[in-house]
Amino acid sequence: MITVDVLLLTLGDVTRDARTLNLARVLSKAGLSVAVYGAYSSQQNEPFIMLTWSDPGGRALRRWWSFLSQATKLSVVAKCVIGMDLFALSAARRIALQNQGSLLYDMRELYFALGPLKGKGIRQRILAVHERRLLRDVEDVVVSGQLDAEIANKHFNLPKYPVVLLNTPPYRDVVASKLRDVCGVSSETILVVYQGVILLGRGLGPFLAAMSTMPNVHLAIIGDGPARQELQALARAGSVSQRVSWLGSVPYDELHSLTCGADVSLCLIEPVSVSYEYALPNKLFEAMMARVPSLVTDLPALHDHIMKHPVGVLVARSLTVQTIRAALERITSPQTHAQMVGACEDIHALSYERQAKTAVALIREHLA
């Protein structure tokens, strides 16, 4: 039997889950005993206990049932249990009830209005009902942005206002990158990077369409996801597939060095759902850490961020070929690019180290 202060559960690959890794590491650094249950695509030295879930792959329901069944058989006692997304929350709830411990929920997205479930009304309603039911036993909700906190608080009428932990990375300096070599492009080519899950609604479709009018642009896509084949077909149809590098998913600790090699980062979120409308994704902060300016959709949370930290060019939410091309021309002009690279230094004040005090204080409150 393992006894820990904090148990984090995530239905996914922990080595590629920035939010889970950063929280587990900062809590461990604060002197708390931490265990993380999830899948691990590689073994690495970590300050926390790694509890491995054997991900069977396949359909979402099969994976969820496997996770729930295996997690509830863990020989672990935890004073505080955190479901690191909605799909891990059922297992976290069961373990917290068994241990008579505190239950926390990282609502990293507005799951009651997910972008990938647009047009799938029944599945979205089931997910929303499931989330609301589980929230009855949650003592604290954590979200990734102030607007998300306001919306979640109003939507669920929460007994406690959500705690905001931004999706920022720990501080790193700019490092040498092999991205151009991997993509096989010269320094004269404008190298644009996208990092994250490959889904519709993440701006990849509109950008691929715009690339047909931008012959000196190469796109590096770091990540995997269900929309890959559809987007590859779109690239072929637009005769730009030879200027797109599909690099697959990489461990979180390798992401920074790759991003440092780009000229521009994509944060073109399409407002296909409430969750996407108010998104403040980690890719924006990862780009700042790499001192890479971003193309950013003009949506509420993203707009507020760019007004405070001018690290990118806002693109009209319609994401037309013309608006994307004009924004790219502006962001790659030498003077504008240099100014935005300089503004990226604001990441000193936003890095995860600045979030650490909030995270540790929250957990200590539940351990008292």
> Can you give the pLDDT at residue 60?
83
Encoded tokens for 346: 């604001």
Share of the chain above pLDDT 90, in %: 89
Domain boundaries, the chain: 2-168+352-367, 179-349
Residue 266: strand pairing partners: 295
**Segment 41-50 mean pLDDT:** 91
Closest by CA to 60, choosing from 126, 129, 138, is: 126
Mean pLDDT of the chain: 94
**pLDDT value at 115 more than 60:** no
Q: What is the pLDDT of residue 368?
A: 87
pLDDT at 112: 77
pLDDT of residue 11: 93
Write a three-state SS string for the chain: CEEEEEEEEEEEEHHHCHHHHHHHHHHHHCCCCEEEEEECCCCCCCCCEEEECCCCCCCHHHHHHHHHHHHCCCCEEEEEEEECCHHHHHHHHHHHHHHCCEEEEECCCCHHHCHHHCCCHHHHHHHHHHHHHHHHHCCEEEECCHHHHHHHHHHHCCCCCCEECCCCCCCCCCCCCCHHHHHCCCCCCEEEEEECCCCCCCCHHHHHHHHCCCCCEEEEEECCCCCHHHHHHHHHHCCCHHHEEECCCCCHHHHHHHHCCCCEEEECCCCCCHHHHCCCCHHHHHHHHCCCCEEEECCHHHHHHHHHCCCEEEECCCCCHHHHHHHHHHHCCHHHHHHHHHHHHHHHHCCHHHHHHHHHHHHHHHHC
Identical fold between 2-168+352-367 and 179-349: yes
- Superfamily of domain 179-349 in CATH is Glycogen Phosphorylase B; (3.40.50.2000)
In this prediction, residue 129 carries a pLDDT of: 86
Q: How far apart, in Å, are the Cα atoms of 52 and each of 10, 19, 46, 81?
A: 11, 18, 13, 16
Q: What digits encode the pLDDT tens for the residues 116-163?
A: 555 556 777 888 888 999 999 999 999 999 999 999 999 999 999 999
Tell me which amino acid residue 258 is: L
Residue with tokens 């759902």: 273
Token pair listed for 96: 């917290």
| pLDDT band (50, 70, 90) for residue 245 | very high
pLDDT of residue 125: 81
Report residue 147: phi and psi, to 5°: -65, -35
Angle between helical axes of 204-211 and 228-237 (0-180°, round to 10): 20
Residue 164 has pLDDT above 90, yes or no: yes
Contact 78, 5 (CB under 8 A): yes
- Please state, for a pLDDT cut of 70, what percent of the chain lies above it: 98
pLDDT-derived band of residue 114, with 50, 70 and 90 as boundaries?
Answer: low
**Contact in structure between 175 and 259 (CB atoms under 8 Å):** no
Q: What is the pLDDT of residues 307-340, one digit of tens each?
A: 999 999 999 999 999 999 999 999 999 999 999 9
More reliable by pLDDT, 109 or 5: 5
Residue 222: CB atoms within 10 Å: 23
CATH of domain 2-168+352-367: 3.40.50.2000
Average pLDDT over residues 83-110: 95
